[in-house]
Amino acid sequence: MHTESQNTSTKLLAYLGCYVCTDLVIRKDAVAQWGLVQYGVYALSIVWAFFLYREIIARIQGRTSNQARRFPALVVSVLITATISISYGFFLYFKILPNISAFGILFFSPRDFLGSIVSRISLASALMFLVFCLLFYRFIRSSAQNYRRQPRSRWEKGLIILLFLASIPLFQSRTTVSSGALLPEMNALFNLGIATYDQLFDQEHSGRALPRPNRPHLPAVARKAPCNILLILNESLRADHIPALGGPKGLTPFLTTLLAREEGVIFPRFYAVATRTIIALPSWMTGTSPVQSGQALEKAPIFSNYAKQLSGTKTFLIASQPYEPGDVYRFVNDGSWDMIVCAENSGHPFQPATQSISDRFLPAYLDRFLENMQPEETFLGVIHTFGTHHPYYADTNKASLLAPVPVQTRYKEAIRALDANLEQIVTVLQKHGRFDNTIILSTSDHAEAMNEHGYWGHLRTFYNEEARVPGWVLIPRALRRSPAFAEMHKGLLANRNQYLSNIDIMPTVLDILGLSPSPEAPPLLGAPLTRPIQGPRIIRMQNYQDVDNAMFPGTALLYGHYKYILLLENGRKKHHLYDMTSDPHEQHNLWPQAPESLKKAIFSEIEAYPTSREVLTFQPPSPWVDLGDRP
Please say whether the dihedral angle defined by the alpha carbons of residues 172, 177, 180 and 181, taken in this order, is positive or negative: negative
- pLDDT per residue over 597-622, tens digit each? 999 999 999 999 988 888 887 665 44
pLDDT given for residue 120 in this prediction: 59
Residue ranges of the chain whose pLDDT lies below 50: 1, 64, 174-178, 205, 396-403, 621-631
CA distance linking residue 6 with residue 560, whole number of Å: 67
Instruction: Kindly give, in sequence order, each residue whose CB lies less than 8 Å from that of residue 382, ignoring residues fewer than 6 positions away.
Output: 231, 232, 233, 285, 303, 316, 317, 318, 319
CA-wise closest residue to 527 among 498, 555, 556, 561: 498
- pLDDT per residue over 399-454, tens digit each? 443 445 677 888 899 999 999 999 999 999 999 999 999 999 999 999 999 888 88
pLDDT given for residue 4 in this prediction: 54
pTM greater than the 0.85 cutoff: no
Within 119-273, residue ranges assigned H as helices are 123-146, 154-177, 184-201, 253-262
Name the CATH superfamily, with its identifier, for domain 228-534: Alkaline Phosphatase, subunit A (3.40.720.10)
Q: For residue 335, how far is the Cα from the chain centroid?
A: 27
CA distance linking residue 245 with residue 496, whole number of Å: 12
pLDDT given for residue 5 in this prediction: 58
Write the DSSP assignment of 212-253 as a string of letters: PP-PPP---EEEE-SSEEEEEEESS--GGGSGGGT--TTSSH
Do 256 and 246 touch, CB atoms closer than 8 A? no
What is the number of other CB atoms lying within 10 angstroms of the CB of residue 535?
Answer: 5
CA distance linking residue 244 with residue 259, whole number of Å: 9
Q: For residue 173, how far is the Cα from the chain centroid?
A: 23
What is the number of other CB atoms lying within 10 angstroms of the CB of residue 69?
Answer: 19
CA distance linking residue 542 with residue 586, whole number of Å: 18
Q: Specify the DSSP class assigned to residue 334.
A: S
Domain residue limits, the chain: 2-201, 228-534, 558-617
What is the number of other CB atoms lying within 10 angstroms of the CB of residue 196?
Answer: 14
pLDDT given for residue 630 in this prediction: 46
CA-wise closest residue to 46 among 190, 185, 188: 185
